[in-house]
């Protein structure tokens, strides 16, 4: 079972964080992407990088809860989001960080403010349910209005017949 931190898991920003994403020159003078963050001390965390193809990494934190990972392959240029999360033994996400969004270009990585990038955990299924409920309420109100109008017409016709 695979869950996405974009849609699942409770945000526990006080424990789980993606702090930085930066380009660093490696030993071979090629630039590599380095991710750093926080989790529970001496534990394993999953790092999710969302691009055109999601990347999932497992990283061990140190005794202070710090983790760091250097990508071995280049990441494509464009917009990306990173989460750190933990899962239970069934793969269900039990806690996660807030997303850290960034844009990678050939020369640099720039962090995007979180206020512009937070993705609501509501899924398209939730939105569809809300839409269907709104349509049902509108149809019920229209039906009620028609029923009251028809009853009014019938009552006025019966009064008119009695008055003749």
Q: Per-residue pLDDT tens for 123-158?
A: 556 667 777 777 788 888 888 888 898 998 998 888
40 touches 15 (CB < 8 A):
yes
User: What pTM, to 2 d.p., does this model score?
Assistant: 0.63
48 touches 73 (CB < 8 A):
no
| pLDDT tens figures, 104-128 | 887 667 776 655 444 444 455 666 7
Bridge partners (DSSP) of residue 100 are: 82
- The Cα 104–Cα 102 span in angstroms is 6
CA torsion, ordered 91, 95, 97, 102, to nearest 10 deg: 20
- What SS3 state is found at 44? strand
Q: What is the mean pLDDT of the chain?
A: 83
- The Cα 6–Cα 81 span in angstroms is 9
**Which tokens belong to 63?**
């005794």
Q: Which of 111, 117, 87 is nearest to 33 (CA)?
A: 111
In the block, which residue shows the tokens 């071995």? Answer: 72
């Amino acid at each position: 079972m695979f869950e996405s931190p974009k849609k699942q898991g409770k945000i526990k920003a006080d424990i789980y964080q993606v702090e930085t994403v930066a380009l660093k020159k490696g030993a071979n003078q090629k630039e590599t992407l380095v991710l750093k963050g926080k989790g529970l001390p001496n534990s394993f965390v999953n790092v999710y990088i969302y691009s055109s193809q999601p990347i999932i990494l497992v990283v061990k934190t140190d005794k202070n809860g710090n983790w760091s990972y250097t990508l071995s392959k280049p990441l494509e240029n464009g917009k990306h989001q990173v989460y750190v999360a933990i899962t239970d033994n069934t793969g269900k996400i039990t806690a996660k960080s807030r997303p850290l969004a960034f844009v990678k270009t050939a020369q640099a990585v720039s962090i995007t403010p979180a206020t512009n990038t937070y993705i609501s955990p509501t899924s398209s299924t939730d939105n569809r349910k809300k839409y269907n409920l709104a349509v049902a309420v509108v149809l019920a109100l229209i039906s009620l209005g028609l029923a009251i109008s028809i009853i009014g017409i019938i009552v006025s016709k019966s009064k008119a017949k009695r008055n003749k």
